[in-house]
Structure 1
Amino acid sequence: MTSVWKRLQRVGKRASKFQFAATYQELVVECTNKWQPDKLRVVWTRRNRRICTKLHGWQPGIKNPYRGMVVWQAPENVDITVTLFKDPNADEFEDKDWTFIIENETKGHRKVLASVDVNMKRYASATPAQYELTLKLKPLSVKVVEATLKLTLSCVFLKEGKATDEDMQSLASLMSLKQSDIGNLDDFSDEEEDKRASTGSTTTSPATAPPPPSRR
């Protein structure tokens, strides 16, 4: 019923699908005294979708052994497919947040260190676009003082929706709705189409990324 209600809320709205790719460059994590991370990964997540980097060793600084970084010598790219919705008369898409999370793993035990929300509608573009982002994450552990993630975010527009969803048309006819107002929302199911996402969930209260910088 939750899925049906969600679809009914989107009746008459336009759906556009985008592919976003993140190329990670540098991660800085400063911790409190007497604790250092072991292996770190970056997780790009929304609800049950979870796209992770490999585990990378955290290298302490010379001047401050509790402030260190992960530097990607070789590019590590991850991508997601995002569907954005808007009313026909609206100038911009509805909000849709994805979250970057920093996890530490020691002996198989994972711990969330910091996170930040990124509103993907700010980076959606009808033409290919690329942004250089420096994200300041909110510490989610008492052991973390601050965390910063540098990455390149690119966007490619894929397609728009069409009124061909048979399930929704059948439901709409029972409710005396016009079939022409029903979008093919199954074609735009983020959760179903991201085949590389593995299941997982995170309960956090992350920070929010600032407005996007100028395109490259």
Structure 2
Amino acid sequence: MLSAFRYSGQRHNDSLLALGGVRIGTLHDFRRTEHKGGIADANEGIKRVSHHIPYVTEKDVGSIHLEAIKQFKIFNLGDSTDVVLQDIQFIRGFNHPDCFVHCVSAEYSRDVLDQFEEADSCIEITDLGKFYQRLTKTLNRQIPVQLLGVSTVRYMMREEDWNGRNWGVHPALIKEPRFAKQLEIRAIWRPKFSGAISPMVLNDVGLIEFCKRRELPDSKKRRSGSSI
């Protein structure tokens, strides 16, 4: 049973404990600079993957560079012969479509609390799996969605070298290293329709059984598991 922690203003956490009140954000909404410190990130859902080819010919069967040519789809060698490629950089940009997002932290600590501007209260979600199962059902009563997963965020730069197999870390699970102390766990839902989406506030008293108030941490206490 994985637990996690929600650091927020007293009013918002009181609403969760009394009414099951939860705000579901969106990936693109996090880009707005009006959000408080620790939440706003203008590059949410964006990354670039690159690959450099120092030298390759069509005869280099099994080369990662020939595979990159196929995967990046910059051009098609076809049955070409006597081809030499030298000092070429491939770049593919990703801008993930908007989706619904809810975030908590894996750690109960003062270091995490201090990352969020105006956060003065803490709630422990005692069973994160059941909490998000319930929240997914509640969200679907309002709007059709699919839960894509609940995962830890990766803290890294948004420029990624191609790994030779796939496109690497999901762009919706990347945050820059300056946010690393948040130790975020993120639930992501894909809307089952096209068109714009916006943050939602839901009330579901069925969520309350998975939540309990915690005193504000004085120092680093413990770290929960990493993913579901």
- TM norm structure 2: 0.22
Larger Rg: 2
Larger relative contact order (CA 8 Å, sep ≥ 6):
2
Q: Would you tell me which structure has more helix in proportion to its own residues?
A: 2
